[in-house]
Amino acid sequence: SSSSGDESLRDKRARILSRGLPKQKPIEGVKQVVVVASGKGGVGKSTTAVNIALALAANDSTKEVGVLDADIYGPSIPKMMNLKGNPELTPKNLMRPLKNYGIACMSMGFLIEETAPVVWRGLMVMSAVEKLLRQVDWGQLDYLVIDMPPGTGDVQLSVSQNIPIAGAVIISTPQDVALLDARKGAEMFRKVDVPVLGLVQNMSVFQCPKCKHETHIFGADGVRDLAKTLGLDILGDIPLHVNIRESCDSGQPVVVAQPQSDAAKAYLKIAMEIVRRLPVPPA
């Protein structure tokens, strides 16, 4: 009958699909992986990833934290974390992360010249991501924050399917154009069974440093409205502040440079909210 034929076709499809997906294998020494993602570029994702990593460590000094820069074409973690040079190799031929502010960091930016463009096709990019995931000696980390490239392409899928991810954090500005892509990012993680911990509304409000008047340059509550639509939490709001940009550009992120500032406190709160939503880590 046609119904039994349909059923066998569905079974066959399911078998092929399950064969095609790689088995998820944890990164050795890493307890929990948190990915920081955005649907589009220019929304402050890398700045947020770096400050979240520093805030995770600042909130609990017993925790070891690392950052993996998965943006192959535009790595920005080396500059933001004030790190240069090539990683040393262990006797097992694994790369040792570079370290600053107590955070272990690995990036494509450590393996190529700072000004050299990465002119690669997809397969070479996937190979580089695989190396960054599997050929790094992280030691023992409680949290590895992965700064994803913008979008919902090969790198995002590869990372999501290769390693178990404890949760994803979506960064967006309140601007309609950014929100469209942020929604796609959240839906992509849901499709590949990665729990979305919540959204961060970046560049939420600008306060004039002279008269203290507040202006919602990119709109007021766009990310809050999107979170409601998707049934997700807002982890926090980060203001549009010149100090956040300047501190990251100078390699001294605001969480370490100005820990008492409102901007640093916003990141510390977001890090606390992330930890609250993470599953209990393996022993």
> Please, what is the end-to-end C-alpha distance for the chain in angstroms?
52
Contact criterion met (CB below 8 Å) for 255 and 279: no
Q: Which domains does the chain have, with CATH numbers?
A: 34-277 (3.40.50.300)
CA 17/CA 94 separation, integer angstroms = 32
Positive or negative, the Cα torsion across 92, 165, 84, 149? Answer: positive
Cα 234 to the center of its chain, rounded Å: 16
Nearest-Å Rg of the Cα atoms of the chain is 20
Reported as a single tens digit per residue, the pLDDT across 210-224 is 666 555 445 456 556
pLDDT digits (tens, 9 = 90+) for 263-275: 899 999 999 999 9
Q: Which of 20-34, 166-180, 243-257 has the lowest mean pLDDT?
A: 166-180
Which tops the pLDDT comparison, 281 or 130? 130
Confidence class for position 247, pLDDT limits 50, 70, 90: confident
Partnered with residue 67 across adjacent β-strands are: 105, 145
Q: How far is CA 121 from CA 129, 131, 221, 228, in A?
A: 13, 16, 38, 38
- Written as six digits, the tokens of 85 are 């040079």
4 CB burial (10 A radius; 0-12, 13-18, 19+): exposed
The whole-number pLDDT of residue 219 equals 46
| Both tokens assigned to 257 | 């440079």
Higher pLDDT, 247 or 195: 195
Q: Residues near 254 by Cβ (< 8 Å), separated by ≥ 6? A: 51, 243, 244, 247, 248, 261, 263, 264, 267
Evaluate if pTM is beyond 0.85. no
pLDDT value, residue 222: 59
Positive or negative, the CA dihedral 107, 44, 139, 125 is: negative
What are 119's two structure tokens? 């002119």
Please state, in angstroms and rounded to a whole number, the distance separating the CA atoms of residues 83 and 99: 8
Which amino acid is residue 69, in one-letter code? D
User: In sequence order, what are the residues at sequence separation of 6 or more whose Cβ sits closer than 8 angstroms to the Cβ of residue 104?
Assistant: 64, 65, 66, 67, 97, 98, 138, 139, 141
Q: How far apart are CA 126 and CA 136, in angstroms?
A: 16
Residue 97 has pLDDT above 60, yes or no: yes
pLDDT of residue 180: 66
Find, among 201, 194, 254, the residue nearest to 51 by Cα.
Answer: 254
Cα(133)–Cα(24) distance, integer angstroms: 12
